[in-house]
């Protein structure tokens, strides 16, 4: 049998990265009846875990076992061929080969699902003897380090740099472990691009109520590790803020954004903007390479543009779309339009102690959009609408909801706040159809 005939008889799909996007690609391939080799390149030696749960694990709200959404038995049913030789180092798009430190593995189709890495953009190098690497949050290793820091009684004060959702989740873990927390953020409000100022302010009042010191509208200019006299440890971190203030902390966590893990892709082999640009079936600019999850830039429904929508559900759906499309193509057909990625929009829920924040869609108020605020003791809801409220002759509303913020001081499962958040998210989704 010629090499090509052998390939066609037993095609190989390579999946690089085994988080939710990678796992869902594998599940979809098998569900669609793909019986060839599914070779998974994973740089972790645990079961796939959820990055969402890592901060809850560090903060003592979840056990380690709860961080793994799939059991070994469930994954064994997928009959996967695992390659655990460290991170993939190179993808030869032309030659159809995935390279680890041990060598090259051929593929017919490849799914890139390598997620993202937390960045410390703009954070200064720590000076002083002994050095110090700030804490970051994404992987289980990151969570183990945060957990041990938070369990260490000698750590009393933590500085959280950044005001994004990930920063706030880290902050929550610190509060749950009884630490004194200061948050420093370059913007005037927390929650960065997820909240309009009025919603962020109510959330900030709640944080302050829990004893969080907020240093907004400033950055960390310098950090020095210095000796400490008295206290449980013999060193501390002296921080100079951009407004000239100086204060000391035991640990620092930095959440200054994420960067898609694409270092193993050679320049000009695939179209990369902020991440891999994909079509409705998760195909990159090369027909045999797909991308899903935090490495993919697919359709964002509110803007109509291709953007990274870095949330769990989107990664799972994109992985499934890629797996289904590959199975169809390797069976000699084409995926059907109803198997295409429907597009996505951002949505977030975060609770710090009892302070709840839910958002979905866009918070950008453009000339075509209007903002409406409804506030009472129970919750604050801010709606962003697009289009006219009433159109002459139609007698009805032509506007559609494109985003909302909800803040409440009562984080209770099944509460009116959660119901409202779910209902408004569905309304945005319906408006996108
Ligand atoms: C602290 C935190 C809280 C979050 N909270 C929420 C939330 O509340 N709601 C929500 O929807 N989303 C949340 N997210 C985002 C969500 O976790 C991600 O969008 C989602 O996990 C992306 O899935 P993925 O499969 O693309 O990436 P990942 O889950 O990161 O999986 C990628 C995998 O690829 C591996 N990998 C990387 N490089 C290589 C390589 N070169 N070779 C082989 N393997 C490699 C990685 O080790 C990893 O195992 C949160 C993220 C963080 C960090």
Domain CATH number, residue 85: 3.50.50.60
Of the residues 202, 228, 254, the one at which a domain ends:
254
Taking residues 227-247, report their average pLDDT: 93
Whether 270 shows a pLDDT value over 80: the answer reads yes
Distance in Å, CA 27 to ligand 1 centroid = 17
Residues 225 and 295 in one domain: no
| 345 occurs within a structural domain | no
Q: Which residues are within 8 A (CB) of 130 and not within 5 positions of it... i.e. 6 or more apart? A: 225, 235
Residue 165 CA to residue 348 CA, distance in Å, equals 8
pLDDT computed for residue 322 by the predictor = 98
Residues 324 and 271 in one domain: yes
Q: Per-residue confidence at 397, pLDDT binned at 50, 70, 90?
A: low
Residues 105 and 79 in one domain: yes
pLDDT computed for residue 283 by the predictor = 98
Q: Whose CA is nearest to atom 6 of ligand 1?
A: 52
Residues 177 and 150 in one domain: yes
Distance in Å, CA 115 to ligand 1 centroid = 5
Bridge partners for 241 per DSSP = 220
Q: Is-contact 186 219, C-beta < 8 A?
A: yes
Question: What percent of the chain has pLDDT above 90?
Answer: 90
Residues 331 and 389 in one domain: no
Whether 195 shows a pLDDT value over 80: the answer reads yes
| 140 occurs within a structural domain | yes
Q: Is-contact 236 246, C-beta < 8 A?
A: no
Residues 42 and 98 in one domain: yes
The atom of ligand 1 lying closest to the CA of 41 is: 43
Put simply, whether the predicted model's pTM sits higher than 0.75 gets the answer yes
| 349 occurs within a structural domain | no
Q: Which of 286, 279, 282, 274 is CA-nearest to residue 93?
A: 286
Of the residues 223, 254, 285, the one at which a domain ends:
254
Instruction: Indicate the top mutation candidate among 116, 140, 294 to test ligand 1's pocket, ranked by most ligand atoms within 8 A of CB.
Output: 294
CB neighbour burial string for 396-417, b if at least 16 within 10 angstroms, e if fewer: eeebebbbbbbbbbebeeeeeb
pLDDT computed for residue 233 by the predictor = 87
Taking residues 45-56, report their average pLDDT: 96
Residue 278 CA to residue 272 CA, distance in Å, equals 9
Bridge partners for 116 per DSSP = 260
| 198 occurs within a structural domain | yes
Q: Whose CA is nearest to atom 2 of ligand 1?
A: 52
Structure tokens at 169: 């989740």
Taking residues 266-288, report their average pLDDT: 97
Residues 109 and 187 in one domain: no
| 299 occurs within a structural domain | yes
Bridge partners for 385 per DSSP = 370, 401
Distance in Å, CA 225 to ligand 1 centroid = 31
pLDDT tens digit sequence for 338-385: 999 999 999 999 999 999 999 999 999 899 999 999 999 899 999 999
| 347 occurs within a structural domain | no
- Averaged pLDDT of the chain: 94
Structure tokens at 262: 């694409």
Of the residues 254, 272, 290, the one at which a domain ends:
254
Residues 141 and 247 in one domain: yes
CB atoms within 10 A of CB 132: 16
Q: Which residues are within 8 A (CB) of 64 and not within 5 positions of it... i.e. 6 or more apart? A: 57
Q: What is the CATH number of the domain that holds 386?
A: 3.30.390
Parent domain of 373: 354-431
Residues 104 and 8 in one domain: yes
Residues 143 and 242 in one domain: yes
Q: Per-residue confidence at 33, pLDDT binned at 50, 70, 90?
A: very high
Residues 217 and 328 in one domain: no
Q: Is 59 in the pocket of ligand 1 (CB under 6 A)?
A: no
Question: What percent of the chain has pLDDT above 70?
Answer: 96
Q: What is the CA radius of gyration of the chain?
A: 24
Q: Per-residue confidence at 1, pLDDT binned at 50, 70, 90?
A: very low
pLDDT computed for residue 396 by the predictor = 60
Q: Per the structure, how many domains does the chain have?
A: 3
Whether 314 shows a pLDDT value over 90: the answer reads yes
Taking residues 117-145, report their average pLDDT: 95
pLDDT tens digit sequence for 158-170: 999 999 999 999 9
Residues 233 and 164 in one domain: yes
Taking residues 244-255, report their average pLDDT: 98
pLDDT computed for residue 7 by the predictor = 54
Instruction: Indicate the top mutation candidate among 24, 51, 317 to test ligand 1's pocket, ranked by most ligand atoms within 8 A of CB.
Output: 51
| 36 occurs within a structural domain | yes
Whether 241 shows a pLDDT value over 60: the answer reads yes
| 344 occurs within a structural domain | no
Q: Is 39 in the pocket of ligand 1 (CB under 6 A)?
A: no
């Amino acid at each position: 049998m010629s090499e090509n005939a052998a390939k066609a008889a037993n095609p190989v799909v390579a999946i690089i990265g085994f988080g939710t996007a990678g796992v869902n690609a594998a599940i979809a391939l098998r569900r669609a009846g793909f019986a060839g080799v599914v070779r998974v390149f994973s740089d972790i030696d645990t079961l796939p875990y959820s990055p969402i749960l890592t901060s809850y694990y560090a903060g003592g709200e979840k056990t380690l076992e709860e961080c793994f959404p799939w059991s070994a038995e469930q994954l064994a049913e997928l009959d996967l061929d695992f390659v655990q030789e460290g991170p993939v180092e190179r993808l030869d798009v032309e030659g159809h080969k995935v390279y680890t430190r041990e060598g090259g593995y051929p593929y017919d189709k490849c799914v890139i699902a390598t997620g993202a890495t937390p960045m410390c953009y703009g954070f200064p190098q720590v000076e002083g003897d002994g050095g110090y690497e700030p804490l970051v949050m994404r992987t289980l290793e990151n969570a183990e380090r945060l957990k041990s820091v938070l369990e260490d009684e000698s750590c009393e004060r933590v500085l959280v740099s950044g005001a994004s959702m990930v920063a706030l989740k880290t902050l929550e873990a610190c509060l749950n472990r009884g630490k004194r927390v200061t948050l420093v953020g370059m913007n005037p409000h927390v929650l960065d691009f997820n909240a309009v100022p009025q919603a962020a302010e109510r959330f900030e009042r709640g944080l302050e109520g829990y004893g969080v010191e907020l240093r907004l509208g400033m950055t960390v200019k310098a950090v020095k590790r210095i000796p400490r006299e008295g206290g449980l440890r013999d060193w501390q971190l002296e921080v100079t803020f951009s407004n000239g203030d100086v204060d000391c902390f035991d640990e620092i966590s930095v959440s200054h954004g994420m960067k898609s893990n694409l270092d193993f892709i050679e320049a000009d082999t695939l179209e990369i903007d902020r991440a891999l640009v994909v079509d409705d079936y998760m195909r990159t600019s090369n027909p045999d390479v797909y991308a899903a999850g935090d490495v993919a830039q697919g359709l964002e429904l509110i803007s109509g543009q291709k953007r990274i929508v870095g949330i769990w559900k989107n990664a799972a759906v994109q992985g499934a779309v890629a797996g289904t499309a590959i199975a169809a193509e390797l069976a000699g057909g084409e995926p059907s339009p109803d198997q295409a990625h429907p597009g996505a929009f951002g949505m977030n829920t975060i609770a710090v102690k009892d302070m709840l924040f839910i958002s979905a869609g866009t918070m950008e108020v453009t000339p075509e959009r209007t903002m409406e605020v409804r506030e009472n003791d129970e919750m604050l809801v801010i709606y962003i609408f697009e289009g006219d409220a009433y159109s002459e002759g139609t007698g009805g509303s032509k506007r559609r909801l494109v985003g909302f913020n909800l803040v409440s001081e009562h984080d209770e499962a099944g509460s009116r706040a959660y119901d409202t958040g779910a209902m408004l998210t569905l309304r945005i989704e319906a408006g996108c159809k």
